[in-house]
Amino acid sequence: MKNLLLILALLLTVSTTYAQRDEAAKARIHAAKMAYITDRIHLSATQSGEFIPLYNEYEAEARTARKPYKEKYTKAHPDAKDFVIMQYVADDLDCQQQILLIKKKYQDRFLKIISQQQLSDLNMSEREFKQILLKKLKEEARERRMSR
């Protein structure tokens, strides 16, 4: 529980910097995420030594798969024509399918290091971390708007 509170405190501290999107902030958020996941799935020291490099490899591959999609649609226009919207939907599904294939590819590799229960907990802890981070970013955005 103490580890979890420390991780959340670290997350709250670094999420402010995340809005600036500098590399140091991204690195700190990644470190907080890894600490959160490691704690939530109860990795042993031995497992951590093998799991963390593999997880970093998995994340890098997923990030590479998402990059073209994000670059293409970061500046999507709200008045886009129907064919553009349908292309967005199709590209989104393609991106999700690529991510799913990457997850399936790494599943067997993860299971050589962690148990099935830990793999299940990994998926849940990734979602939890994302929700915590998004909530904190929304709170900070609200606070910035109110302080103006």
pTM (predicted TM-score): 0.74
- Say yes or no: 128 and 145 in one domain: yes
> Among all chains, which residue has been given the structure tokens 């998995």?
58
- Say yes or no: 25 and 66 in one domain: no
In this structure, are residues 37 and 65 in contact, taking their beta carbons and an 8 Å threshold? no
Q: Percentages helix, strand, coil for the chain, rounded to the nearest 5?
A: 85, 0, 15
**Model confidence pLDDT, tens digit, residues 83-108:** 666 777 788 889 899 999 999 999 99
**What is residue 104's three-state secondary structure?**
helix
- Say yes or no: 93 and 72 in one domain: yes
- Give dist(CA 92, CA 73) in Å, integer: 10
Torsion, Cα 28 30 36 41, to 10 degrees, reads: -150
**Residue 76 predicted with pLDDT over 80:** no
Query: Number of folded domains in the chain?
Result: 2
Quote the tokens at residue 79.
Answer: 């008045």
Owning domain of residue 120? 1-43+116-148
112 confidence band (pLDDT: 50, 70, 90): very high
Identify the CA nearest to 73 among candidates 90, 93, 88, 94: 88
Which residue has better confidence, 114 or 67?
114
